[in-house]
Structure 1
Amino acid sequence: MSSDETPNVPTPRNSREAVREKAQKVHAQQSRARLMRRIIIGAVAIIAVGAVGTAVTLAVSAQVSKPQLTPTGMESDGVIVNDIDAIAASDETLGTPVPEPTEAAATATPTPAPEPTAPERVEIHVYVDYLAPDAGEFERANARQLASWISEGAVTVSYHPVALLTASSNGTKYSLRAAAAAACVATHSPDKFYAFNRDLLSNQPKVGTDGFSDAQLANAAAAVGVDDAKAVRSCIEDGDFVTWAKEATTRALDGPLAGSDDLVLSSAPMIVANGEAYVGALDDPAEFSNFMLTIDNDASQQSNETPTPTPTPTATPTP
């Protein structure tokens, strides 16, 4: 049986056009998708850059708005120690016996004697890093005789907090923070600086450990009886003088050190007396005492050296 109807079979030409049209639609969809992705990525990038810029602006603004803080009560980045009651030597100095006057001496007219000139005090500058074991060793060995010399008025002692071992405390920067904490005590409770200074040097953390936290440093300051514990704690925990401690260390490294002409900081501790660096044993009080005796003798000789007056010729009368 035959039929005149023919099946609806697409010709090869129509098939190619259909495939081409479909491919064009797919390509258009992919192009739109790529365009949308680019727009989204660009928008995200703009937002991210804006956020970073805002953060940087806020950080810079905060730094600019926060004033550069400098501790008070210091000279040449050092604190002069006056209150040494906590460690003053217990031995009393025996006075020279005064003979009782005789009757002849009592009736005789006393000859006025010139008042002795007080010798100049030897200036001692001690540069300390509160993490340096040698700094603690020197303090433990020489604290008592330093206190005795201060009490006698023979010396003035200035402590200069520095930070040479900032990178030796597991990233906590203990040396820097401890130096800044000492500056906080010197500013807000200067009469307790020496007690705090001695406590940090007597109870040092080991090199390579985290050291004490800011809260622990503030607790140590409170334990020595600072006058305004709240202000000291805020100063320490806010890091008010961290920048100062860093800059003070740089100044010491560049030199010259206080009281010297050309010395620069080369170690901690570094002890300078009347411009001369002590290079002896840090744990030997006798050797340090001999060094100080030499410095004192040199200072006394210089003060006693007075120029001899040149006699004025007297005119001889003419006969």
Structure 2
Amino acid sequence: MSKGSRDRADKARRIVEQQRLAERRRTVATWTSVAVVAVLIIAGVIGYSMVSGKDEKTQSALVTPSVAVDEGTAFAVGSGPVTVDLYEDFMCPICKNFESTSSAGLRQLATAGKVTLRYHVVSILDRASNGTEYSTRSAGAAAAAAEEGKFTEFHDALYADQPEENSDGLSNSKIIEIGKSIGLTSDKFAAAVNAGTYTAWATKATETFSARHFTGTPTIVVNGTQVTGPQDSVPTVELITQAVDKAAG
């Protein structure tokens, strides 16, 4: 074989080897890509399962008080033709002030058969209790009290013993003690407070509050229309009564 023939043969062999090497590289790259995709799919399935499981757990944890009204988010006092919705947070000092100045007048309207008071206890001030989530815990305790027919008594007792903003709030044992002071002596109430039975419910009530485009407490709504005082201040009982009379026609 001549030198030229040998050179051409060597070149041909190199080309074939290069082609084989390139093919092996493509095969490895293909299987690597398949493996990566498989890992991503598996991770996605696991992630979805975890999220789905979490959602299902959250949903299953939602216990709505049987006595709650307005899509299970409030507790009613009275049965008058005009609806007055009160949105409050047990950690809110302005709510306590509103209750001290207006509660008696509003309850009188309910007693007289003029209004249905609907109390919505929300938890927008958890950030003001040093991580103890007092707003949520107290709202959940109020739901437990409502189940035993003691909502208004417990509501009033919590405001009477309201902790300061940016404190730890009241402990569960203190909340249970307050409950006992107004007749909530059953093991069921104490167990609900300690177990956080109505925690998910309190979250849902707060989400409903936000979905209705309300941002602060107290918020007062008469027959679907928010009532405010001058410069968006908290309305007095007189202003609320005027709104009730207007709604009643």
Say yes or no: TM over 0.5.
Answer: yes
Deviation at 1:291, TM superposition (A): 3.6
Query: Could you report, residue by residue, the CA deviation over 1:152-196 in whole angstroms, capped at 9, with x for unpaired residues?
Result: 111111101100001111110100111111111112x12x11010
Task: Give the partner amino acid of 2:225.
Answer: E
User: Quick one: which amino acid aligns to residue 75 of structure 1?
Assistant: V
Report matched runs for 1:82-101 at 5 Å: 82=78
Q: Which has the higher helix share?
A: 2
2:196 pairs with one of 230, 233, 239: 239
Instruction: For 2:172, give the aligned amino acid.
Output: D
Which of 152, 156, 176 in structure 1 is aligned with 2:116? 156
Q: 1:213 aligns with which of 165, 171, 175?
A: 171
Largest Rg, 1 or 2: 1
Q: Which residue of 1 aligns with 2:157?
A: 199
How far 1:75 moved relative to its partner? 0.8
Distance change (3 Å), C-alpha of 1:81 and 1:294? closer
CA contact 2:228–2:234 (8 Å) conserved in 1:
no
Is residue 295 of structure 1 aligned with residue 244 of structure 2? Answer: yes
TM-score of the superposition, structure 1-length normalised? Answer: 0.56
Q: Which has the higher contact order (CA 8 A, sep 6+)?
A: 2
* Inter-CA distance 294–160: structure 2 relative to 1 (3 Å threshold): closer
Count of residue correspondences: 193
Structure 1 residues 288 and 239: alpha-carbon distance in aligned structure 2, compared to 1, 3 A threshold? same
SS at match of 2:116: strand
For 1:65 and 1:149, locate their aligned partners in 2 and report how far apart those are by CA, in whole Å.
37
Over the matched positions of the two proteins, sequence identity in percent amounts to: 27
Corresponding residue number in structure 2 for 1:79: 75
Distance 2:174 2:199 in 1: 16
**Aligned position for 1:123:** 83
The 3 A distance-change label for structure 1 pair 254 and 144 is same
Closer, same or farther in 2 for the Cα pair 1:167/1:234, shift >3 Å? same
Counterparts of 1:126 and 1:173, CA distance in 2: 21
Distance 1:68 1:295 in 2: 34
Per-residue CA deviations over 1:232-289 (Å, capped at 9, x if unaligned) read 000011000111111210121012xxxxxxxx221111111111212127777xx432
Letter in 2 for 1:200: L
Unaligned runs of 5+ residues in structure 1 are 1-55, 84-119, 256-263, 301-319
**Pick from 211, 217, 230: which aligns with 1:268?**
217
Give the distance between the partners of 2:242 and 2:83, measured in 1 at CA.
13
Instruction: Quote the residue 1:168 is aligned against.
Output: 128
Specify the alignment match of 1:315 in structure 2. none
Whole-angstrom CA distance in 2 between matches of 1:294 and 1:247: 28
Q: 1:64 to 1:178 in 2, by over 3 A?
A: closer
**Corresponding position: 1:70 with 2:64:** yes
Offset of residue 71 of structure 1? 1.8
Read off the aligned partner of 1:136 and give its amino acid letter. K
